[in-house]
Amino acid sequence: MLLALLIACDLTTAPSPGDATERMVEVPAGSTARGFGPELQKQGLIKDSWRWEWFLRTQTGGEQEGGKCLKAGRHRVSADMDAAALLTALCGATVPKDEPFTIVEGWRVREIDAALAAKGWVAAGAFTQAVTTDLTTYHATFSLPSDTLEGFLYPETYRVEPDQLKEPGGLHAFVQRLVDTFGERFGNEAAAAEKAGTLPRAFHDLVVMASMIEREEPDPKNRPLIAGILWKRIDAAWNLGVDATSRYTIEDWNDRAAFMVKLRDPKDPWNTRLRAGLPPTAIGNPGEVALHAAMNPEASEYWYYLHDASHGLHGGRTVGEHEANRRKYNVY
């Protein structure tokens, strides 16, 4: 009797009472609590297997009897748990096997596709296909394009369960999440303004403009100014002259040789130096700052702008001022 009392008291003491560091334990399918004892001991979560077995045999009952309730999957535990708390955790809800996946502001569909494929989560090209075919299967409070979701895939860090992406409908569900997040950060607000007749521009035009602003101006505080200059050019029927648009269809964004070819191609629909109006699609996926800058441009006296070697912005009111800025900052 005394031995039993001593053991019972010992079981109320965690193996490391001061260690509340969260750990992740993976319980294999088909495991029993008794059979899992050696692994728990190895990880320092119980003092030894025989005390754990004694606890399971004498101190558990009902649903937890003998540890039969153990659930396969990942569980959050810590070394300051006593035997009862540990068993409760191992019998509780499992932790999803999710991992972070970051879509960088300005990334094109091809960069998202490449990043997912590099992780081995989807086959190369699968994401591109999911956002360029049968787009009527996606839903939103705002109208979605019919040819590509470029521009509507909100850049953010998402928690993703890689295995789910490989299941039927898994990739579609992930794309819908990106569209939903776009709605939460911008689309729903803009759609409501459109319905009320207060949206300053066509919805899709705003997204296309925001994608250019994202690439054109690295400093968020300058983006409304860039938006104002570009919209002013559109309204005056000027060619936009945004070189970033000519990079859109190039596989490697920084391939200068390919860029120079595109820059001189009058047949390229994305060439805003030689063709009037907005490009046919967004040139990437803009973040919230760029989207709101497109909707709320800053009026100025400038028609031109350039960036110096330190990315500082310099506006010009006339061709003469712009050329003077080119010479001053050695930008050609």
Q: How far apart are CA 151 and CA 159, in angstroms?
A: 21
Give the model's confidence band at 237: pLDDT under 50 very low, under 70 low, under 90 confident, else very high: very high
CA-closest candidate to residue 291, choices 189, 194, 167? 189
pLDDT for 63:
47
For 179, list phi and psi in degrees, rounded to 5: -65, -40
The stretch 144-152 carries a mean pLDDT of 97
The stretch 271-276 carries a mean pLDDT of 96
pLDDT for 67:
62
pLDDT at 158 over 90: yes
Structural contact between residues 193 and 186, judged by C-beta atoms closer than 8 angstroms: no
- Over the stretch 192-234, which tens digit does the pLDDT of each residue have? 999 999 999 999 999 999 999 999 999 999 999 999 999 999 9
Q: How far apart are CA 172 and CA 99, in angstroms?
A: 18
The whole model's pTM is what?
A: 0.77
pLDDT at 59 over 70: yes
- What is the percentage of the chain residues whose pLDDT exceeds 90? 72
| Strands (E) located in 73-214 | 73-77, 99-102, 157-160
Superfamily designation of domain 2-91: Endolytic murein transglycosylase (3.30.1490.480)
Query: Who's near 186: CB < 8 A, 6+ residues apart?
Result: 154, 288, 291, 292
Domain residue spans of the chain: 2-91, 99-196, 203-329
